[in-house]
Amino acid sequence: MSDQPASPPASAPPDSWADLRRLTNARIGLKRSGASLATGPLLDFQLAHARARDAVHAALDEAKLAGDLRLLGDVLTVSSLVEDRPTYLMRPDLGRMLSPLSEAALQERAGTFDVAFAVIDGLSPRAVETHAAPVLAQVLPALRAENWRVAPLVLLQLGRVAAGDAVATLLRAPCVVVLIGERPGLSAPDSMGAYLTWQPGPATTDAERNCISNIRPDGIGYADAAAKIAHLLRAMRDRKLSGVRLKDDSERPAALTLSRSPNC
Amino acid sequence: MYSATIGRQRHTFADLKALLAKATPLRSGDVLAGVAALSGEERVAAQIALADLPLATFLSEAVIPYEDDEVTRLIVDTHDPAAFAPIAHLTVGGFRDWLLSDEATTAALSALAGGVTPEMAAAVSKISRLQDLMVMAAKCSVVTRFRNTIGLPGRLSVRLQPNHPTDDARGIAASILDGLLLGAGDAVIGINPATDSPERAHALLSMLEEIIGKLAIPTQACVLAHITTTLALIGRDSPVDLVFQSIAGSESANKAFGIDLALLAEARAAALALKRGTLGDNVMYFETGQGSALSANAHRGVDQQTLEARAYAVARAFKPLLVNTVVGFIGPEYLFDGKQIARAGLEDHFCGKLMGVPMGVDVCYTNHAEADQDDADALLALLTASGVNFVMGVPGADDIMLDYQSTSFHDALAMRDLYGRRPAPEFEDWLARQGLMDRANRIRPGELPAPFRALLPA
């Protein structure tokens, strides 16, 4: 039942909604009974919700992801102040801070860099397990070809976006790209977000970040996401700022403008 | 210093913001902020002390200093003493009793709105049960107009929210057609763009204008871009009906959103100058939500519900068409489960309405909160019974761009049927003309009418 498109309204011809449904993954043309959802689409929804809930509570396969990232550069594995996923969900403040051991490890690797990348499990570990390496595989060569000095890749479990600020500060990189698993939705339990910040620090606000969300093959694809990240990084470096003020008339990703940024 | 003595124990509260915070029914955001009561008894002690507090106290003591915060200055400087006069002698507890009494008619409450500060509204809500919040809110009426009339008694409007993860025009149009067919869209057809690109926003606004124009729908459009993007679009003649912005209850939280009051005023003036409303000049659409200030580390030691009410003071200064509290979006660190989300939704709706704000609620939850469709059903029904101006209509309750669950076209239909609520009158007439209503005046569409399908972009 779950993988079949829902049936059209009872009174419509059988294929009336089929071509419309090809235009979007949104749940349109659902079969009704009276005003209410028919049994089929109701149970489709419940299954998708159950899968998303399962994704939120799954743990990151750190060894696998670290192995994938090592093919692209040096990898530093660090941790936040959070110890388990239930605490992670309730205490974003702890997820923004690095453990003392991690801080020391990063400080040891401080150097002369142009950009740091932090890969964080966030609310969908599967998203970064699947999408982080393919995006980085396109971004990093492009940047290196332009002589960007890229800091060691940082892999952080149970972290929030703002933990990337500390990563950049400790490595002494002027800007940071955080790749993080976004909160699972029903049709996308594995969506990744990229948050870019120029000269991040403890006083950085959400308005000073630029965000590319919904990175996955059916959303913003790998090549597109990589191009957007590289484009934003160049613009940030040219104009020495990020966030809502970094906006011109070219195709630019949204700066964070809403409370709708649950990872921060 | 405030205090209450229970038995032999004296509970003390350092200042007004501590008293309000400790009196707040439990929610995770206040625990995260470190302002929540430490025990159930301390919470009720604070509520007892709060109930005895004269309302006039709120006019002399601010939760965020006047000198530091333009939202406080707005609240103080625009307070209407004449409107406040009928309740000036009351305590918070006395105010609750009066609001529940038969003296508090719709007309009396409308006249009172300008005299109610957000902190007064928040204080009353903290000593009220859900039933009280419903009864009091249901007596408030806030009616607004742009191309139709929203908030009339017996009406329930719906924002049609046709989001798409890549802002694909045809994908968005398909969701709009589905929503229109099911009677949604009288509050606004409002798209959250996936990116903040001015080009994309312009293209989406142009498509919305074409759909609304060709089908002659008495409604308004909005692309929920940052206000600076919308202002720039107005400058280059994009068809902007409503100016959208997320707002919060402190100057520093608004700064985190990249806005201040002057920018809101500038954008409103720009939208008014377009004169695109045919029935009225309510041109602003605001979104809020408990916890937004804390998430920007801009809560100033104030509890999240009081800050939320302060956001409504920001909203009402700009005569909005719609104010939408996105109640369950922010996540379990602010509202942990369905119980906390339900209470917050009813608090927000009550506080906004009491202050004269045209409240709608995005009844929603995320997959990392302890909530599901049953929780959403319960809150939606309670809000409909409370007379909420509008709710969201999302295809199948599943927003595929923002990755959260809201309410569906079907949910809104079920509530209209269950509670006998009708769409905005101009929109209802339009639905009837499209042949989408049955003989019992229920919205019961058949096939997609040909003029609808013809609107899909190439």
pLDDT in tens, A101-141: 999 999 999 999 999 999 999 999 999 999 999 999 999 99
Min CA distance, B448 vs chain A (Å)? 8
Surface of B (107-166) touching A: CB under 8 A? 162-166
Min CA distance, A110 vs chain B (Å)? 28
Q: Provide the pLDDT confidence category of residue B446 given band limits of 50, 70 and 90.
A: confident
Is pLDDT above 60 for B197? Answer: yes
Lowest mean pLDDT across A89-93, A176-180, B56-60, B69-73: A89-93
Lowest mean pLDDT across A245-249, B63-67, B274-278: A245-249
Q: What phi and psi values does residue B51 have, to the nearest 5 degrees?
A: -60, -30
Arithmetic mean of pLDDT, B230-246: 97
Q: Do B172 and A24 touch (CB under 8 A)?
A: yes
CB-based contact (8 Å) between B402 and chain A?
yes
The pLDDT value given to residue A12: 47
Q: Do A253 and B196 touch (CB under 8 A)?
A: yes
Is pLDDT above 70 for A7? Answer: no
* Closest residue in chain B to residue A14, using alpha carbons only: B447
Please tell us whether the domain made up of A73-258 is placed in CATH 3.40.50.11240.
yes
Under a CB-based contact definition with an 8 Å cutoff, are residues A155 and A62 in contact? Answer: yes
**Which of A258, A261, A263, A264 would best serve as a mutation to test chain B binding (most B beta carbons within 10 A)?**
A258
* Closest residue in chain B to residue A10, using alpha carbons only: B446
Q: Do B332 and A90 touch (CB under 8 A)?
A: yes
pLDDT in tens, B288-302: 999 998 888 889 999
Give the ipTM of the model, two decimals please.
0.94
The pLDDT value given to residue B456: 83
The pLDDT value given to residue A6: 44
pLDDT in tens, B164-181: 988 999 999 999 999 999
Own/partner pairs for A34-42, CB < 8 Å, 24+ apart? A34/B417, A35/B410, A35/B413, A35/B414, A35/B416, A35/B417, A35/B442, A35/B443, A36/B410, A36/B413, A36/B414, A37/B396, A37/B408, A37/B410, A38/A6, A38/A7, A38/A10, A40/A1, A40/A6, A40/A7, A41/A6, A41/A7, A41/B396
Is pLDDT above 50 for A13? Answer: no
Q: Do B174 and A185 touch (CB under 8 A)?
A: no
Arithmetic mean of pLDDT, A142-162: 97
List the domain boundaries for chain A: 73-258
Q: Provide the pLDDT confidence category of residue A247 given band limits of 50, 70 and 90.
A: low
Compute the C-alpha angle A88/A93/A99, nearest 5°. Answer: 80
Higher-pLDDT residue of A170 and A219 is: A170
Computed over every residue of chain B, the mean pLDDT equals 96
Residues of B in contact with A12 (CB under 8 A): 446-448
Arithmetic mean of pLDDT, B113-125: 98
Q: Provide the pLDDT confidence category of residue A15 given band limits of 50, 70 and 90.
A: low
